[in-house]
Homo-oligomer: A and B are copies of this chain.
Amino acid sequence: MRCYRLEKAGSLDGLVQGEAPKPAPRAGEVLVRVRATVLNFRDRMLVLGQHPLPARSGVAPLSDASGEIEAVGDGVTRFAVGDRVISSFFPTWFGGPPSPTPERYGSDVDGWLLEYRVVAADALVHAPRSMTFEEAATLPVAGLTAWSALAGVGPSDTVLVQGTGGVSLFALQLARILGACVLATTSRAANIGRLKELGAEAVVDYVANPDWPVVVRELTAGRGPDRIVDVGGPGTLAKSINAVAHGGQVAIVGALAHTPAPFDFWSMFTRQATLRCISIGSRADLEALVRVVDAHSLHPVIDRIFPFDDAKAAFTHYFEGAPVGKVVIRH
């Protein structure tokens, strides 16, 4: 079978296509014919050698995948041949509280950028019936992160999302399904229409309005959003705290903006804010998301789909193309 391996982190040159024997499932395992994989920010950091927990040399990259069960090992009852499945980011976090995980796709063990992969049946989840393979593969990281960031949001809340990355667009769509009102920020006027089409009530250009918390507060009758899905981390947190409603929550899902802005303790304290760092979610959380996706026929925003043999072009586009929504590889 064809596969990709990250031989040497640092640049895309370290990612090479090759061949490997098609594996066979043992007891409790299944053989997945991989149908689609999806790129996430962590994959970028791993390939470019910027991740604090670097990849082992020679592992296949990518943690987001969908596929079809082609064979099942002894004793597997969870899936049958032909079932459509998706990966779960944490292969052994099934439910309950999170704990640090020893084996992560694309760094400690092989990820999914290959034609076939054998994996424990328990590490997979049924794909939603309402999604194509390309769509379903966007759920394990971006979809579930957004879902977890919205925990507790309800139909009288206002949610703020930042930019047009995968998590932010999922958060926009899922917040609408939860009945919330959504505001969005963007740095590109060109994206405003798309964000409104997806259900944003209002969109703020944060370049034209560097003091966007003031604008956002005006849009919410002085109150501020009840939930902010913060993707910037060090670079956006201070403004998110200044924008959030009294008693509201900033859900921190990423750290795209590394230049740290000074942190305003008093603003956080006097508005009784909560900061909550999101760790994607468990298999039970992913199963809950799949039910929601099917119940609402949710379709994610896909920027572009690349064929398997052009996987490196997919990475280049993800790194440099300022995609709106997810970048997918069709296997």
A residues near B (Cβ < 8 Å) are: 26-29, 52, 73-75, 77-78, 92, 94-100, 102-103, 120, 122, 154-156, 177-179, 181, 233-234, 237, 246-247, 252, 255, 260, 263, 265-266, 268-279, 282-285, 287-288, 291-292, 294-296
**Given A181-B295, A277-B273, A279-B247, A92 and B74 contact (CB-CB distance below 8 Å):** no
Contact status A274-B275, CB under 8 Å: yes
Q: Across the interface, which residues of B come within 8 angstroms of A282, CB to CB?
A: 95-96
Q: Across the interface, which residues of B come within 8 angstroms of A274, CB to CB?
A: 274-277
Q: How many copies does the complex hold?
A: 4
Contact status B29-A284, CB under 8 Å: no
- Report the 4 A-B pairs with minimum CB-CB distance, sorted nearest first: A95-B95, A96-B284, A28-B28, A94-B94
Contact status A95-B98, CB under 8 Å: no
Q: Across the interface, which residues of B come within 8 angstroms of A28, CB to CB?
A: 26-29, 120
* Min CB–CB distance A122 → chain B (angstroms): 6
Q: Which of B120, B237, B295 contacts A265 (CB 8 A)?
A: B237
**Given A27-B28, A95-B94, A99-B247, A265 and B179 contact (CB-CB distance below 8 Å):** no
Could you list 13 A-B pairs, sorted by A, with CB under 8 Å?
A27-B73, A95-B95, A96-B284, A96-B287, A96-B288, A122-B122, A155-B178, A156-B291, A156-B295, A177-B179, A233-B265, A234-B265, A260-B265
Q: Across the interface, which residues of B come within 8 angstroms of A179, CB to CB?
A: 177-179, 292, 295-296
A30 to B103, CA, bound (A): 20
User: Nearest residue in B to A287 (C-beta to C-beta)?
Assistant: B96
* Min CB–CB distance A53 → chain B (angstroms): 9
Contact status A288-B95, CB under 8 Å: no
Contact status B155-A292, CB under 8 Å: yes
A225 to B45, CA, bound (A): 31
Contact status A255-B265, CB under 8 Å: yes
Q: Across the interface, which residues of B come within 8 angstroms of A122, CB to CB?
A: 92, 94, 122
Q: Which of B255, B277, B292 contacts A156 (CB 8 A)?
A: B292
